[in-house]
Structure 1
Amino acid sequence: MSFMINRRSFLKTASASLALSVVGTQAAELIQQKTWRVGLIGTGWYGKSDLFRLIQVAPVEVVSLCDVDRNLLKEAGEMVSQRQKSKKVPRLYTDYRQMLAERDLDLVLIGTPDHWHALQTIAALEAGAHVYVQKPISVDVLEGEAMLAAARKHRRVVQVGTQRKSTPHLVEAKKNIVDAGLLGKVSHIEICCYYHMRANGNPPVQPVPDHLDYEMWTGPAPLRPYDGLPHVRWWRTFMEYGNGIVGDMCIHMLDTVRWMLGLGWPRRISSAGGIYVQKEGKSNITDTQTAVFEYPELTIVWQHRTWGDPPDPDYPWAMFLYGDRGTLKASVTRYDFIPRDKNTKPIRKDCLYEREQFPEDVTEKGIELHAAPATRRHMLDWLAAITEGRRPVADIEEGHISTASCILANIAMQLGRPVSYDPQKRVVIGDAAATKLLRRAYRKPWKHPEV
């Protein structure tokens, strides 16, 4: 008993210390002044991970959980009861609309597959909640426009799960390398992912298990024949539910370099790629793709391959900022600044781990230990933005620009020509065929959100 009391005291101290260092005394105190009522939609791997990081840094009561898989849902309820102070099992729902109809939530976290993000975010905003939505925010460009409009209409804070902006060593790299001018003029950036992460099996069609509402899981997306639990990362290998590896991994790196350099919409986007090597399975996302995002006197080039080896084994998922005075290599686990002046010392920094401050991280199943500190800071920034009436570091508008740019890269690849998007008119300039692709068809009875 004494051990448990001391442990709780230690965790409270660690959380308070972190909040003070990240958002300052006033915001930290404001965050602590209330018990935030929380709901989570999508109780799989990353949904729970986000929720547990929030529990670590703020006084919350997890009121409700929602998932179409009743086994996952029950397990999540039990896990949350062990984590939260009240020890209560949250109310459990299989339909997010019923959960949101209670209108009793301050915060809603959305950890569902990409094809659900738009409808669930907008519904949560309409129910009066502030939202933390995983990236990418949408599967088509006009969904993102509708989400942005809803956030502004309802005056709610939406933080996007592009937590690289809250990653300590990357925040430091921005301040001490980029903002300090050590790179000089940056006119070329390469971003990449060479992980072998493309699921490509041939599982047989099979009966839907009783514990899964597959109709509701599919929602507005096309209804594929059921060939196994889709939410165990199998869904990411199909364009029906997302935008491939560009939509999943490029958005992180594009968003990060945009933040580091203060960039908005690209003026032109082109892309080429396809399934060049891994042709044997059901997957319909590219295994090889290049995209170019053009800015004035700057190009950002994305490359992914799900086969072969990375050109730099230390940086398989990374960004390379090339300036006339030096180069910055950066990833989720480290950065290296390499100056051109031989008299200037290189700078190296590894990512921060917080195992001692938050020892429960070490035993949590499936946790990304390197990302946990970033997610905690991302949650604190979100809550501080709510209490201070400001935009968060990963505001919905920035998430929309990064998401839509990646979607536009796929459109450019599909059409075989560059595209230029006008966010005011919400059209691809001079390209009616590309403009039609800004909006996906929804499966009935689901209706595409309107701006």
Structure 2
Amino acid sequence: MNPLNRREFLKGSAALMSLASFGLLGMDFKDREGPLKVALIGTGWYGKSDLFRLIQVADVEVVGLCDVDSKQLADAGNLVASRQKSGKVPVLYEDYKELLAKEKPEYVLIGSPDHWHALMAIDAVKSGAHVYLQKPISVDVIEGEAILAAARKYDRKVQIGTQRRSTPHLVKAKQEIIDSGKLGKISHAEVCCYYHMRNRNHPEVMPVPENLNYELWAGPAPMLPYRGILHRGWRAFMEYGNGIVGDMCVHMLDAVRWMLDLGWPVQVTSSGGIYVDKASISNISDTQTAIFEFNELNVIWQHRTWGNPVDKDYPWAFKIYGEKGMLAGSPMRADFYPVGKEEPIHYDVLLEKEQYPEDVTEKDIEIHAAPATRAQMKDWLQAIDTNSLPVADVLQGHISTVACILANMSMDLGGRALRYDPKTRIVIGDEEATALLRRPYRDGYVHPEPDQI
């Protein structure tokens, strides 16, 4: 059976145009016996969203779901049963290792909190599965090196959820503006986020609910007092992620790197802190600037979780500056502003409501991002089928993740410049920073090492 459900895959002329832009029309996919055996680890908001996008573009049987919240897990099981062709409720697991061992999925989606990404991704790859891993790929640098080592050693395709690389209007803007040379020499870029997304609450410590295995939720990270704000609220704590930089900058920095074919930054510097909201329990910065230096090009990041955005049309975005103009891009739009009298060019977000009407009623969906995620899933399957690297290959996700981790490290170290060498896996000339490339794991958990995969 064809791995991509062609009837669903080719709905309408808009879908055909979208597919053509990604080079997926007319491809010869290998025949398969039966649907893809898929599992999801982490059944929260974006884990389910990623899974539903895959179900829309491939012949899938979801064989297992895993979550440490039994209520969320049961609800996800019923939702998946209503969305997948078989109508079956997947087998539900609290322990992802048990899921991998018993169900032996061929494809694993990981939507857990960031502090679990590395261990889950490595174990899934070792089990023989190809992996779709949400960004950032890790919470420390050496975790990311270990994921990369595992993917290469076991020859598994690991696609990262940096779906700006598959956002239709940005793909078109890259082709028509960047690749065609309309910007001329490019020597500066800016990336930003001005969303008021930092948790400003100060809830009291409370008992852990019976439906949550909080010990297992914390896993290798510190187990902070429970305050009832885990679902999405964990992003307020550096113990479980890398703040706004790790969550939002990774997307836009990665988009610029993809647009301009940039590799590792030469060095990273950053400054910032908690300047405005000093009352909440959140310990991530509310104000931060970072400089990612490449050869003859700097990418400047800024976030504020307070005040107004610099540009109301681009509150979370990138802007790429060349001698002949500027290209602005976001998940919602893109605009080319040329120098001189040439007319600007505008690109609208592509919505696929007619092809995928279920998008309209799906709870909490980012409907503007759904086409990008569908394209990212198609690209992942194509890479597996053709034994090529996907557009958001683990190496690309690793570079963008590490750059953001280094920004936070630089801020914590007083703003000094950090130069990471991926060959030696050290920060050049900085033993103190090198020691921060690994976070300590809680007792009972072993930090993965790339040389021991």
Q: TM-score range by the shorter chain?
A: over 0.9
The aligned amino acid for 2:372 is: A
Match runs of 1:222-241 below 5 Å: 222-231=222-231, 233-241=232-240
Partner of 1:248: 247
Classify 1:277/1:28 alpha carbon distance in 2 versus 1 (closer, same or farther; 3 Å): farther
Partner of 2:419: 420
Deviation at 1:200, TM superposition (A): 2.0
- State the aligned residue count: 442
How far apart, in 2, do the equivalents of 1:64 and 1:18 lie? Answer: 34
| 1:14 is the counterpart of 2:15 | no
| SS of match in other structure, 1:40 | strand
| SS of match in other structure, 1:77 | helix
How far apart, in 2, do the equivalents of 1:426 and 1:440 lie? Answer: 14
Deviation at 1:444, TM superposition (A): 1.1
How far apart, in 2, do the equivalents of 1:156 and 1:388 lie? Answer: 12
Partner of 1:188: 188
2:404 to 406, 410, 424: 406
Deviation at 1:27, TM superposition (A): 3.9
How far apart, in 1, do the equivalents of 2:6 and 2:403 lie? Answer: 45
Deviation at 1:25, TM superposition (A): 4.5
Partner of 1:82: 82
Partner of 1:5: none
Match runs of 1:283-322 below 5 Å: 283-322=282-321
Classify 1:12/1:401 alpha carbon distance in 2 versus 1 (closer, same or farther; 3 Å): closer
The aligned amino acid for 1:288 is: T
Partner of 1:175: 175
How far apart, in 1, do the equivalents of 2:168 and 2:196 lie? Answer: 27
RMSD: 1.6
| 1:341 is the counterpart of 2:375 | no
Contact 2:41–2:65 (CA under 8 A) maintained in structure 1: yes
The aligned amino acid for 1:381 is: D
How far apart, in 1, do the equivalents of 2:118 and 2:238 lie? Answer: 16
Partner of 1:378: 376
How far apart, in 2, do the equivalents of 1:64 and 1:329 lie? Answer: 41
| SS of match in other structure, 1:30 | coil
How far apart, in 2, do the equivalents of 1:31 and 1:378 lie? Answer: 21
Contact 1:23–1:381 (CA under 8 A) maintained in structure 2: no
Classify 1:9/1:389 alpha carbon distance in 2 versus 1 (closer, same or farther; 3 Å): closer
Partner of 2:359: 361
| 1:64 is the counterpart of 2:64 | yes
Match runs of 1:133-152 below 5 Å: 133-152=133-152
How far apart, in 1, do the equivalents of 2:308 and 2:446 lie? Answer: 43
How far apart, in 1, do the equivalents of 2:7 and 2:360 lie? Answer: 16
Deviation at 1:10, TM superposition (A): 6.9
How much identity, in percent, do the aligned residues show?
61
How far apart, in 2, do the equivalents of 1:211 and 1:404 lie? Answer: 35
The aligned amino acid for 2:123 is: A
How far apart, in 1, do the equivalents of 2:17 and 2:105 lie? Answer: 25
How far apart, in 1, do the equivalents of 2:431 and 2:283 lie? Answer: 25
Partner of 1:204: 204
The aligned amino acid for 2:110 is: I
The aligned amino acid for 2:412 is: Q
TM-score (norm 1): 0.95
Deviation at 1:17, TM superposition (A): 5.0
The aligned amino acid for 2:170 is: L
| SS of match in other structure, 1:102 | helix
TM-score (norm 2): 0.95
How far apart, in 2, do the equivalents of 1:29 and 1:426 lie? Answer: 38
Match runs of 1:268-279 below 5 Å: 268-279=267-278
How far apart, in 1, do the equivalents of 2:51 and 2:379 lie? Answer: 15
The aligned amino acid for 1:155 is: D
| SS of match in other structure, 1:385 | helix
Deviation at 1:381, TM superposition (A): 0.2
Classify 1:102/1:17 alpha carbon distance in 2 versus 1 (closer, same or farther; 3 Å): farther
Query: Deviation digits for residues 10-63 of structure 1, max 9, x if unmatched?
Result: 746529958953453454643776510000000000000000000000001000
Classify 1:69/1:23 alpha carbon distance in 2 versus 1 (closer, same or farther; 3 Å): farther
How far apart, in 2, do the equivalents of 1:187 and 1:137 lie? Answer: 28
Contact 1:207–1:226 (CA under 8 A) maintained in structure 2: yes
Partner of 2:49: 49
Contact 1:132–1:158 (CA under 8 A) maintained in structure 2: yes
Query: Deviation digits for residues 354-378 of structure 1, max 9, x if unmatched?
Result: 0000000000000001000000000
Classify 1:32/1:337 alpha carbon distance in 2 versus 1 (closer, same or farther; 3 Å): farther
Classify 1:413/1:229 alpha carbon distance in 2 versus 1 (closer, same or farther; 3 Å): closer
Partner of 1:165: 165
Deviation at 1:296, TM superposition (A): 1.3
Deviation at 1:345, TM superposition (A): 1.4
Contact 1:23–1:384 (CA under 8 A) maintained in structure 2: no
Classify 1:185/1:31 alpha carbon distance in 2 versus 1 (closer, same or farther; 3 Å): farther
How far apart, in 1, do the equivalents of 2:213 and 2:7 lie? Answer: 41
How far apart, in 2, do the equivalents of 1:19 and 1:121 lie? Answer: 30
Structure 1 portions without partners, runs of 5+:
1-7
Partner of 1:394: 392
Structure 2 portions without partners, runs of 5+:
none
The aligned amino acid for 1:293 is: F
How far apart, in 2, do the equivalents of 1:12 and 1:330 lie? Answer: 27
Name whichever of 94-103 and 327-336 sits farther off.
94-103
Contact 2:64–2:103 (CA under 8 A) maintained in structure 1: no
Classify 1:243/1:31 alpha carbon distance in 2 versus 1 (closer, same or farther; 3 Å): farther
Partner of 2:447: 448
Partner of 1:257: 256
| SS of match in other structure, 1:109 | strand
Contact 1:194–1:305 (CA under 8 A) maintained in structure 2: yes
| SS of match in other structure, 1:322 | strand
How far apart, in 2, do the equivalents of 1:88 and 1:37 lie? Answer: 13
Classify 1:393/1:279 alpha carbon distance in 2 versus 1 (closer, same or farther; 3 Å): same
